[in-house]
Amino acid sequence: MSPGKRDWREVGDALFSGRMLAAFVMGFASGLPLLLTGSLLQAWMKESAVDLSTIGLFALVGLPYTLKFVWAPLMDRYVPPFLGRRRGWLLVWQLCLAGSIALLALSDPRDHLGLVALASLLLGFFSASQDIVIDAYRRESLADDEQGMGASLYVGGYRVGMLLASGGGLILADLIGYRGTYLLMAAAMLACVVATLASREPALEFGAPKTLRAAVIEPFVEYFRRQDAIAILLFILLYKIGDIMASQMTTPFYLELGFSKTEIGAIVKLFGFWATIAGSMVGGLLLMRIGLFAGLMGFGVLQGVSTAGFAWLTTVGHQDWALASVVTLENFSAGLGTAAFVGFMASLTNKRFTATQYALLSSFMGMPRIFAAAPTGYLVEALGWAPFFLLCAALAAPGLALLYWLKRRDRGVLFE
């Protein structure tokens, strides 16, 4: 057996360890707040007669997620006087999150829109801050070859948290109202504190940066001194770009094929959710067995194939079985690719600057969602649906070619 690859018994032992359970629960804690300022709040504002332009402006409360690398160095430099560097900060942000969700519950979009905006912005900031610490905790508490599995359980918990906040939140809002729903979500966030208290603090192997300047400057200097540092960032930008571009236009595509909103919601939620969970779990298991390079390459190819499935759907038309098949394959492959991709980014970070470097890399990972997705509507108008999705599938190739090039130059640093 080659270095970095485990047999199936060792894979099973790792899967059922307490550190993997912590990854799942922390994923839930990370996913829960995300849509509390998204779909659920949008529904509350719409029913409170808030105009659509104002509802649209509330998207700005998500800015902290793209800027989190700015204050991430603080969580590498300073250690709270309780629970340690990672669990201490995690406790702080989870308590702040519960408080901001409760503040949102006690607001009212109809009469106190300014307070709603403040509570939402605080929620976004605290949520992004929690994400910084959770990513760092996962990197530091898991072995290098466990990063993919940890990422898969994190993604699974994240999806469950998002589902509770979005679909579950809308159902609860009908039953107990928006105020009661947000208070219940605040209680769910407080419940996550139990996992934080029960988890083991990762060893501070290399010590914290001794000055704030070192915490801000050294993570970037250390990263960019590495061989092929720019090429690795380019790979991070390219690996999922076709998948992201295709996903941006799927709902308009389904509607144009004649699927109703009910059909889309039922099929995408039923098949897509579970396929993503299954893909991330299978991906995590396989990564510990086959290694990171094989996983990234194989899962990347499957992502391209699944994207091409949307082009096939144009020839089939309005058939529920066809939509279910394409959605299942696309979400399953996305789950596989995400497990490998997140594990790869975690393996790149220096444990002395985990929070800062991972925040930087994840910011690069999120850039295609803004810049590459923006022109997709123009591309569809210019090319048509089938050529557009085939183009998105073909865009898997540059990232995979760069991955192969990096592997050829590697000396056991990136891949084993």
pLDDT value of residue 3? 40
- What are the C-alpha distances in Å from 386 to residues 152, 237, 260, 311? 31, 24, 20, 4
pLDDT value of residue 6? 57
Domains 1-208 and 219-416 share a fold: yes
- Residue 46 is which amino acid? K
- Residues of the chain with pLDDT > 70: what percent? 90
Tokens 């504190």 appear where?
A: 193
Residues 372-415: pLDDT tens digits? 766 777 888 888 989 999 999 999 999 999 999 988 887 655 66
Cα 30 to its chain centre, rounded Å, is 9
For 375, other C-beta atoms within 10 Å of its C-beta total 12
Domain boundaries of the chain, sorted by first residue: 1-208, 219-416
- pLDDT above 90 for 63: no
- C-alpha span between 308 and 246 (Å, rounded): 9
Lowest-confidence segment of 6-10, 150-154, 159-163, 228-232 by average pLDDT: 6-10
- pLDDT above 60 for 246: yes
- C-alpha span between 180 and 184 (Å, rounded): 6
pLDDT value of residue 416? 56
Banded model confidence at residue 42, pLDDT cuts 50, 70, 90: confident
Please state the rounded mean pLDDT for residues 320-334.
91
First to last CA, the chain: 12
With a CB cutoff of 8 Å and minimum separation 6, the contacts of 345 are 236, 358, 361, 362, 365
pLDDT value of residue 29? 93
The answer to whether 29 and 98 have CB atoms below 8 angstroms apart is no
pLDDT value of residue 1? 34
Domain 1-208 architecture: Up-down Bundle (1.20)
Q: Which residue in 347, 359, 351 sits closest to 128, CA to CA?
A: 359
For 264, other C-beta atoms within 10 Å of its C-beta total 17
Please state the rounded mean pLDDT for residues 71-79.
86
With a CB cutoff of 8 Å and minimum separation 6, the contacts of 194 are none
Please state the rounded mean pLDDT for residues 301-314.
93
Cα 152 to its chain centre, rounded Å, is 10
- C-alpha span between 155 and 335 (Å, rounded): 8
pLDDT value of residue 41? 82
Q: Which residue in 359, 310, 357 sits closest to 330, CA to CA?
A: 310
Residues 281-295: pLDDT tens digits? 888 878 877 888 888
pLDDT value of residue 17? 67
The answer to whether 389 and 307 have CB atoms below 8 angstroms apart is yes
The answer to whether 298 and 341 have CB atoms below 8 angstroms apart is no
Banded model confidence at residue 46, pLDDT cuts 50, 70, 90: confident
| Superfamily name with CATH number, domain 219-416 | MFS general substrate transporter like domains (1.20.1250.20)
